[in-house]
Amino acid sequence: MTRQAAMTQLLQGIGDDMAAYPALLDLLAQQFDAAIRHQQERLGQLAAEIGALVDTLEIRRAARVALATRLTGENPSMTQVFTLLRPEPRARLEADWSALEQMVLAAKAAGKRNGDLLAEQFTIMQRVLHGDNQTYEPA
């Protein structure tokens, strides 16, 4: 693979991720809503969709690391990749990369929020179903 082809694939992967993250954020919002409404079947469907999308994103991330390694050598960074471009494409890629990083952070935060909610719901249900062992213990 030529350096040009590697760069083209890397840029395409970033573009694909930029299109995929809004879909992931939407699925995470739907998951939160389904959790609040205790829609177990819907939660299962959303988990499958989220899992498939996250798998795709992880494959692209791994490919991006491999392509960046091919372009810049061991221990690649996007900063090193940026330096390979002319000023205009570089500025566009830096802006896209920054936007992608923000979407990744938002998805991580939404995933944590959802996980925390589901864990809290589980804990509450366990208390309701099995009682709280410490409720009537003497001090």
**Domains of the chain (ranges plus CATH)?**
3-130 (1.20.58.300)
pLDDT band at 27 (very low <50, low <70, confident <90, very high): very high
Check whether 28 has a pLDDT greater than 60: yes
Q: Give the integer Cα–Cα distance in Å for 1 and 63.
A: 13
Q: The dihedral of CA 6, 66, 47, 99: what is its sign?
A: negative
3-class secondary structure for the chain?
CCHHHHHHHHHHHHHHHHHHHHHHHHHHHHHHHHHHCCCHHHHHHHHHHHHHHHHHHHHHHHHHHHHHHHHHCCCCCHHHHHCCCCHHHHHHHHHHHHHHHHHHHHHHHHHHHHHHHHHHHHHHHHHHHHCCCCCCCCC
**Which pLDDT does position 79 carry in this prediction?**
95
Check whether 18 has a pLDDT greater than 90: yes
**Predicted structure pTM score:** 0.86
**Which pLDDT does position 124 carry in this prediction?**
83
Contact 6, 70 (CB under 8 A): yes
pLDDT tens sequence across 72-128: 999 999 999 999 999 999 999 999 999 999 999 999 999 999 999 999 998 888 777
Can you read off the two tokens belonging to residue 115? 């996980």
Q: Give the integer Cα–Cα distance in Å for 31 and 113.
A: 10
- Averaged pLDDT of the chain: 93
**Which pLDDT does position 22 carry in this prediction?**
98
